Structure 1
Amino acid sequence: MRWDFRLEESPGTPANDQPTFLRACEAFLLQGMAERRWTYWVAADDATLVSHIFIQRVPKVPKPNRIDDAFGYVTNVYTRPAYRNRGIGTQLMARVLGWAAEQDFESLIVWPSEASVPFYVRAGFQRSADMLEYLVRPYVL
Structure 2
Amino acid sequence: MSITYRKLTEEDLDVFIRMRIAQLREEGAKEDVDLAEPLTEYYHRHLADGTFVSWLALDEGRIVGTSGMSFVEKPPYFSCPSGRIGLLSSMYTAPAYRRRGIAKELLRRVTEEARAYGCGTVQITASDMGVLLYTAFGFEKNGNFMQYKL
TM-score, length-normalised on structure 1? 0.77
Distance across 1 between alignment mates of 2:133 and 2:81: 33
What displacement does 1:61 show?
Answer: 2.8
User: Structure 1: 5+ residue runs without aligned partners?
Assistant: none
Shift of 1:67: 8.8
2:122 counterpart of 1:111: no
Structure 2: distance between partners of 1:2 and 1:32 = 16
Q: Which has the larger radius of gyration?
A: 1
Regions of 4+ moved over 6 Å = none
Structure 2: distance between partners of 1:57 and 1:33: 11
- Does the CA contact (< 8 Å) of 2:88 and 2:124 recur in 1? yes
| Structure 1 SS opposite 2:24 | helix
SS of the residue 1:101 aligns to = helix
CA gap 1:112/1:23 in 2 versus in 1, 3 angstroms:
same
Say how many residue pairs are matched.
130
Report how far residue 35 of structure 1 moved.
2.4
Q: CA deviation at 1:73?
A: 0.8
1:136 aligns to 2:144 (yes or no)? no
Distance 2:26 2:76 in 1: 40
Structure 2 equivalent of residue 9 of structure 1: 27
Equivalent position SS for 2:130: helix
For residue 2 of structure 1, what is the amino acid of its counterpart?
R
Deviations 1:60-98 (A, max 9, x none): 3368xx996411111121111111111111111111222
CA RMSD of aligned residues (A): 2.6
TM-score with structure 2 length normalisation? 0.73
Alpha carbons of 1:7 and 1:128: their partners in 2 closer, same or farther (altered >3 Å)? closer
2:148 partner amino acid? V
Q: Deviations over 1:78-132 (max 9, x none)?
A: 1111111111111111112223222231010111122311110111111236xx3
Letter in 2 for 1:136: Y
